[in-house]
């Protein structure tokens, strides 16, 4: 019976999400697009975190994806849709190669290396002006769907749904067992027959592909890339703050956190245009200190306490 209601609720939310452009204004739609992009980053970050691997690579992979899609279109004449898939593929390959090199190290080394990906690609892009447009960035002649807001929104929503579906698959299949075991104890995981390295490389590559596609979608809907905006630290701090706020290690937490903080972020940007990153930093610290399980965790433990008590 509870299951039944759950599916009805999901169907209603899905319908409201799909029909959003028909009852919301242009400003709300642009906020929704941004929130959905962050949703992809927050969920994909969490999907890798479920294996115990902390990544700071979201900005790097987002930037790589942004540039890959713009350059595929400008230099190779790919269609916008194809260039977004290409962005995912480029991010997948970059992450797989990097993963093969550094995922044996894990922990701190992995986290720091992921932070470096963005910096390395940003420096290359800034300096290789003839191909990338250099510090000024590059502009697309046309934005995707000729700027049709409804189609653009659906494109972003489609990517967010892909991330959600993948995240649910990660939770419902053997991947869940593998990632949780690796996070809890690698020695026990190995002794259970789990090929830790294989799982980590594949999950890092898949989540990076999502982040690359998010960059591609963003670049195609806004029509430009620059080294500073495409690799912005916003894409690291915000998704982490969102996932932590909602609750990590699951699909629902990052969704709730992204919607709450994503809407809040828009106001923060309006009122404190230069200091908003500090606010996310403070939010991250506060959640880690006072509410490490996030909103979903707090609600869940309240329910369990009621059932027991």
Query: CB neighbours of 291 closer than 8 A, spacing ≥ 6?
Result: 297, 298
Site string for another protein, 148-177 (x = CB under 8 A): -------------------------xx--x
- 234/229 Cα distance (integer angstroms): 9
Touching another protein, residues 242-261 (CB under 8 A) = 249
Interacting residue with another protein among 79, 127, 191, 301 (CB under 8 A): 191
194 contributes a contact to another protein by CB under 8 A? yes
- According to DSSP, residue 1 is labeled -
47 contributes a contact to another protein by CB under 8 A? no
* CA 32 to chain CA mean position, Å: 15
CB of 195 to another protein, least distance (A): 5
192 contributes a contact to another protein by CB under 8 A? yes
Span near another protein by CB under 8 A; candidates 62-70, 180-188, 224-232, 285-293: 180-188
Answer whether 45's CB lies under 8 Å from 237's CB.
Answer: no
| Per-residue burial over 31-41, b = 16 or more CB atoms within 10 Å of its CB, e = otherwise | bbbbbbbbbbb
48 contributes a contact to another protein by CB under 8 A? no
CB of 104 to another protein, least distance (A): 12
CB of 303 to another protein, least distance (A): 15
301 contributes a contact to another protein by CB under 8 A? no
**Dihedral angle sign, alpha carbons of residues 29, 35, 41, 47:** negative
Total interface residues for another protein by CB under 8 A: 20
Q: Is 247 helix (H, G, I), strand (E, B) or coil?
A: coil
Answer whether 138's CB lies under 8 Å from 225's CB.
Answer: yes
Binding residues vs another protein (CB under 8 A):
173-174, 177-178, 180-181, 183-185, 187-196, 249
């Amino acid at each position: 019976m509870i299951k039944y209601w759950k599916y009805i609720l999901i169907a209603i939310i899905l319908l409201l999400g799909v029909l959003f452009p028909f009852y919301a204004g242009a400003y709300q739609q642009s906020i929704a697009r941004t929130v959905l992009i962050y949703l992809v980053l927050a969920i994909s970050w969490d999907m890798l975190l479920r294996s115990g691997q902390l990544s700071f690579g979201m900005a790097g992979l987002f930037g790589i994806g942004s540039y890959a899609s713009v350059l595929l279109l400008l230099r190779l004449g790919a269609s916008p849709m194809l260039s977004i898939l290409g962005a995912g593929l480029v991010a997948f390959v970059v992450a797989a190669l990097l993963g093969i090199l550094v995922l044996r190290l894990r922990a701190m080394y992995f986290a720091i290396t992921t932070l470096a990906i963005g910096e390395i690609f940003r420096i290359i892009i800034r300096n290789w002006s003839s191909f990338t447009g250099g510090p000024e960035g590059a502009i697309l002649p046309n934005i995707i769907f000729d700027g049709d807001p409804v189609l653009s929104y659906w494109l972003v929503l489609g990517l967010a749904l892909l991330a959600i579906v993948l995240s649910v698959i990660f939770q419902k299949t053997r991947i869940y067992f593998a990632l949780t075991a690796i996070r809890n104890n690698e020695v026990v995981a190995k002794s259970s027959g789990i090929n830790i390295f294989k799982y980590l490389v594949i999950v890092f590559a898949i989540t990076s592909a999502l982040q690359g596609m998010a960059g591609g979608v963003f670049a195609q809907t806004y029509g430009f890339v620059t080294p500073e905006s495409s690799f912005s630290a916003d894409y690291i701090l915000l998704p982490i703050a969102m996932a932590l706020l909602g609750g990590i290690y699951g699909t629902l937490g990052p969704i709730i956190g992204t919607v709450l903080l994503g809407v809040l972020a828009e106001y923060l940007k309006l009122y404190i245009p230069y200091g908003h990153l500090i606010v996310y930093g403070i939010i991250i610290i506060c959640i880690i200190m006072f509410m490490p399980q996030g909103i979903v965790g707090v609600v869940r433990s309240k329910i369990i306490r009621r059932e027991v008590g």
